[in-house]
Amino acid sequence: MPDPSADRPTLSLIVALYFEEECVAEFVRRVRAALDPSGLDYEIVFADDGSHDRTVPLVEALAANDPRIKLLVLSRNYGKEGAVTAAIHHARGDFLLMMDPDLQDPPERIIDFYRSIREWDCDLVWGVRKENAADWRTRVFSRCFWLALNGLTGLAIPHDVAVMRIFNRPFAEEFKRYGERVRFIEGIFMAVGMRQRTLPVEHHARFAGRSKFNFRRRIRLASNAVLAFSDRPLRLSIAIGLLMLGSALSYGLYAFMRQLVWGIGLTGWTSMILFVLFIGGIQVILLGIMGNYVGRIYTETKARPSFSVLKRVNLP
């Protein structure tokens, strides 16, 4: 029986695409310039997440002349998490390296990541940004996001983590066993565990175009991350309920003593309405938190796939 790993490349690059027609050709050029002289056997596994520009035709043209370039065209937009998952499931390398095609993480560092995971004998090497070329609003949001996420989930994801990271085949196989539909890649990586280290990496401005990871997508990712990896919001809702109950009892005792001792009753239609609206608002927020968890349960029980592939190029 032939060895299934006989034609396996040493390194697979995992690259999610979404409207990247301005970057993809330059990305491939720089990857080739960085890896071809090394003699490293590699492949580039692109997963297109529903682009409607020239991204897919450009990658198909590149793949026609280079069998190392693979392409998965997803049937619709599943989000970056779904595209990355699809690429990991189709990658064949002994080591898998994630990165974006916008060249914010330099392809010239791929060899450093490969050497580091080999020399350190670990399973995952995170890229951690030495400096951030993003605008101040993005940097502030990113820092607040990771601080809040680690506080709510206890995952201890490295601060200023980059998209660029490398992991070995055993880590990839373990990752593929995680079947949740609402996915947060960094959280799953931390849940997999194994031996992890960090490597500083430069962060540059985008080569071209604008980031598609807008504020709305960031908020949705943050929500998915917290709800998928922590039940602390539910426990926090209990604490808020107890605090409200204590406040109501204290206020009731104050009103009773005021009437009993001083003979002064509490009046005021405005204060009563504000109090009712305040309590009602808190209740709606808590119901919304619980509803989100119930919705996640509903999504997971349907067991729908995380991605569907419309077309494969240079892949069986």
- Say whether 212 sits in a helix, a strand or coil: coil
Domain membership flag for residue 221: no
pLDDT of 203 reads 83
On whether both 165 and 261 belong to a single domain, the answer is: no
How does pLDDT run across 211-223, given as a tens digit for each residue? 665 566 666 766 6
Domain membership flag for residue 222: no
**Lowest mean pLDDT, pick from 29-33, 243-247, 304-308:** 243-247
Cβ contacts of residue 72 below 8 Å, gap of 6+? Answer: 45, 46, 47, 48, 83, 86, 87, 90, 309, 311, 312, 313, 315
Whether 172 shows a pLDDT value over 90: the answer reads yes
- Say whether 254 sits in a helix, a strand or coil: helix
CB 194 within 8 A of CB 174: yes
Higher-confidence position of 179 and 252: 179
On whether both 198 and 57 belong to a single domain, the answer is: yes
Query: Taking the alpha carbons of 41, 126, 72, 188 in that order, is the dihedral positive or negative?
Result: positive
Domain membership flag for residue 220: no
Between the CA of residue 119 and those of 39, 123, 308, what are the distances in Å? Answer: 18, 11, 37
- Percent of residues, the chain, with pLDDT higher than 70: 73
Whether 293 shows a pLDDT value over 80: the answer reads no
On whether both 188 and 268 belong to a single domain, the answer is: no
On whether both 204 and 238 belong to a single domain, the answer is: no
Domain membership flag for residue 58: yes
On whether both 250 and 171 belong to a single domain, the answer is: no
Pairing assessment for the beta strands 124-129 and 69-74 based on DSSP bridges: unpaired
On whether both 208 and 236 belong to a single domain, the answer is: no
- Token pair for residue 127? 């890229």
Q: How many CB atoms lie within 10 A of CB 181?
A: 17
Domain membership flag for residue 217: no
Domain membership flag for residue 204: yes
- The rounded distance, in Å, linking the Cα atoms of 104 and 206 is 5
Over residues 17-40, the mean pLDDT reads 91
Cβ contacts of residue 108 below 8 Å, gap of 6+? Answer: 30, 34
Please name the helix (run of DSSP H) or strand (run of DSSP E) that holds residue 311, with its range, or none: strand 309-313
What is the 3 state secondary structure string of 84-116?
HHHHHHHCCCCEEEECCCCCCCCHHHHHHHHHH
pLDDT of 316 reads 81
Supply the CATH number for residue 189's domain: 3.90.550.10
Say how far residue 282 (Cα) sits from the centre of its chain. Answer: 29
50: which DSSP letter? Answer: S
- Token pair for residue 186? 């960094």
Over residues 163-168, the mean pLDDT reads 92
Provide the domain count of the chain.
Answer: 2
Domain membership flag for residue 145: no
On whether both 47 and 189 belong to a single domain, the answer is: yes
Read off the pTM. 0.73
Domain membership flag for residue 198: yes
- The rounded distance, in Å, linking the Cα atoms of 54 and 23 is 11
Mean pLDDT of the chain: 80
Band of the pLDDT at 159, cuts 50, 70, 90? confident
Give the residue numbers spanning the domain of 182.
Answer: 11-138+157-212+309-313
Say how far residue 44 (Cα) sits from the centre of its chain. Answer: 20
On whether both 134 and 38 belong to a single domain, the answer is: yes
The top-scoring range by mean pLDDT among 99-113, 123-137, 156-170, 192-206 is 99-113
Band of the pLDDT at 3, cuts 50, 70, 90? very low
On whether both 55 and 126 belong to a single domain, the answer is: yes
Question: What is the number of alpha carbons within 13 Å of residue 258 lying toward its C-beta?
Answer: 10
On whether both 29 and 168 belong to a single domain, the answer is: yes
On whether both 126 and 174 belong to a single domain, the answer is: yes
The top-scoring range by mean pLDDT among 86-95, 142-151, 158-167, 269-278 is 86-95
Band of the pLDDT at 125, cuts 50, 70, 90? very high
Over residues 262-285, the mean pLDDT reads 66
On whether both 241 and 290 belong to a single domain, the answer is: yes
